Amino acid sequence: MDMNLEQLRSFAEVAKLGNFTRAAESLHLAQPSLSRQISALEQDLGAELFHRARAGSSLTTAGESLLPLARRMLADADTVRRELDELAGLRRGRVRLGATPTLCISLVAEVLNAFHAAHPAIELHLSEHGSRRLLDELAAGELDIALVTTSDVASAAHATLTPLLVEELVVISSAGSPPVTSSGSVTLDEVAGLPQIVFSSSYDLRGATDAAFREAQLMPDVVLEGAEMDAVLRFVERGLGVAIVPAMVLIDRPGLRGARLNGSALTRTISLARPSDVAPTAAVSVMRRTISHTATAFAARAGETMRPAAV
């Protein structure tokens, strides 16, 4: 076969966008050039890869078969190129990191601060999404590494998951308001009776808390629904209500007070995900070590509510 990386890159972009014109713009190519690349690839493979229509282009059966292979070949080529660049010192290295929103405002902020201070020449890219979306991006070769919560995703077909931390979910309230409990812990039944701020349904931990209330046959008193993490923390600080959050978000937030859940502890496992079939670059390997060391330090600061995961 005479197919090349440019053809595969064009094919993958058309498959992603479903439109030849938009793909050409994304790749900074003239549309006739992109069309010729796809036609040459189809001729070489002996099969049509797209159903072409005025409304857009969709993959044929042959195209669907080729797409995961093309993505993996492009990711492997990119890895080799970055490795050679790093060894030769010609260009900056790059790390594409994914993390969930709750981790981005806590653990990831510390990780990126430590990594950039030690390796300022490495280019950093961050993708902030839920665990399932991050694993999809990892499988597609769009990420080098990701921090996911494996209480929501037990396994991944194309990724290796390494548990880092087991973290409790705790109840937070405003430090400027009277404590919700005098004992330092509160039951789920008591939480259900407090005005509560809950996250957007896109958050992984929203499903965990909803399931806990359903299992206990409780109906929480929700005063605000659908907020993002930063907004939830701000609303709680202002005394609008309480929220159930990962314990690590309390670190360095004097405006919040935390209480452990008594009798119905909710936990999540934070894991490091990486592609199973792609060797990490030097920069990615350093990032993995930075994440591991920072997670250990976080566990020490959070005490009993956060502990290293048993491997």
The pLDDT score that the predictor gives to residue 87 is 56
The pLDDT score that the predictor gives to residue 81 is 74
- Domain range 87-164+270-308, CATH class: alpha beta
Topology (CATH) of 5-67: Arc Repressor Mutant, subunit A (1.10.10)
The pLDDT score that the predictor gives to residue 263 is 74
Q: Is the pTM of this model over 0.95?
A: no
The pLDDT score that the predictor gives to residue 85 is 63
Domain chopping of the chain, boundaries:
5-67, 87-164+270-308, 166-268
The pLDDT score that the predictor gives to residue 306 is 64
Under CATH, which number does the domain 166-268 receive? 3.40.190.10
Could you tell me how many residues make up the chain? 311
| 5-67 and 87-164+270-308 share one fold | no
Q: What is the mean pLDDT of each run of 10 residues along the chain (311 residues)?
A: 81 94 91 91 92 90 93 85 59 84 88 87 90 90 90 65 89 91 87 92 82 91 88 93 90 88 82 88 86 85 68 51
The pLDDT score that the predictor gives to residue 303 is 66
